[in-house]
Structure 1
Amino acid sequence: MDQTPQVREATAAERPEVAEVTRLSYAQYAVGSTPEFWARYEDSTRKKLLEDDDARRFVVLTDGRIVASVLWCPPNEQNPYPEMRLLAVLPEHRNRKLGDLLIKACETLTRTEGFEAITLHTTALMPTARSMYERRGYRPFPDLDFEPAPGFVVWGYKKRLA
């Protein structure tokens, strides 16, 4: 068994597996949400992972199996910078720096594409992720904050790469 993680872009055929890895990785956050909110969140997340042709997907494979993933989304009307979205690591593969590998892949692509910064969103449900991002130099970027449901704030973060 080769436990050396490999990072690469996902193929179109792997989109359903990426969606399942994300669903399993995020399941713990359902406890802090209403069932209605969580159902909408899972539906929109799955749709984004399966259907967004503009996003690029990076995966980490261990023994030929996808165990972690992330989306890299190009700038849009609301955000002039690329955005790293839906970073997911299966629970049994956490604390192995797989998230760091995916963040590095997104930061490298951002530089390659000629952008000076990358952004992301996180919530109070994800204190471990927030700490990981802050350790890597991501700082609050309130221009991207939003509230998809009353009292549920999603914070924007940005890291300058130049």
Structure 2
Amino acid sequence: MQIRRARPEDLAAAGDVTVAAYAEFSEGNTDGYVERLRDAARRDREAEVWVATPDDSEEILGTVTICPDGSVWREVSKPGEGEFRMLAVAPEARGRGVGGALVDLVVDRFRQEGARAVVMSTLPVMTSAHRIYEAVGFVRAPELDWSPTETVHLIGYRLELEV
């Protein structure tokens, strides 16, 4: 598997993979958030979209949005902390280490930049993703819990980085 910054020709597929990965957690076409999930081109303009592909193909197995300092996509991070969003693995690629590899990329990236921690938000029901985060060393951070809407409640995770 290779992990690289998304190219313009990857962005539509990255959006589709994100929508497919989040399908069980959304309300389908009536859910306005689905279009935000699909719009990887916007995320790449305002943050950074990264993709995982097989070594021998350009198929998008998974994607993650890295939110550098100054990105409008940052929700819970403070200065000196890294943040990522919308970790997504294509349903047919689950169980193959894609999610863990993408999280490792994020952690390595922010460690190299000197961040003191990496933080993120997730839905409480995304237990498979929680296992990936916890395997890397993320811990629940209730102080990061928040609700972007009246019906959506997110929980926070934090990974302290050695400086």
Give the TM-score normalised by structure 2.
Answer: 0.83
List structure 1 segments (4+ residues) > 4 angstroms apart after TM superposition: 33-36
SS at 2:60 equivalent: strand
SS of residue matched to 2:77: coil
Aligned-partner SS, 1:152:
coil
Structure 2 partner of 1:74: 68
- Judge which range, 142-151 or 80-89, deviates more: 142-151
Which of 10, 30, 34 aligns to 1:42? It is 34
CA distances 1:5-59 after superposition (whole Å, capped 9, x unpaired): 11111113322221111011111223xx5875xx122123334x22132412221
Contact between 2:28 and 2:34, CA under 8 Å: does it hold in 1?
Answer: no
1:51 aligns with: 42
Task: Extract unaligned runs of 5+ from structure 2.
Answer: none
Counterpart of 1:160, as a letter, is E
The one-character-per-residue Cα deviations of 1:59-100 (angstroms, maximum 9, x if unpaired) are: 111222111111110245852222121111111111011111
Q: CA deviation at 1:151?
A: 4.7
CA distance in 2, matches of 1:134, 1:59: 21
Partner AA of 1:51 in structure 2: R
Residue 58 of structure 2 corresponds to: 64
Q: Give the letter for the 2:63 counterpart.
A: S
Where 2:95 maps in the other structure, the secondary structure is coil
Question: How many residues are paired up?
Answer: 153
CA contact (8 A) 1:58 1:105 kept: no
- Alpha-carbon RMSD: 2.0
Q: Please, which runs of 5 or more residues in structure 1 have no aligned partner?
A: none
- In 2, distance between residues paired with 1:60 and 1:102? 7
What residue in structure 2 maps to residue 108 of structure 1? 108
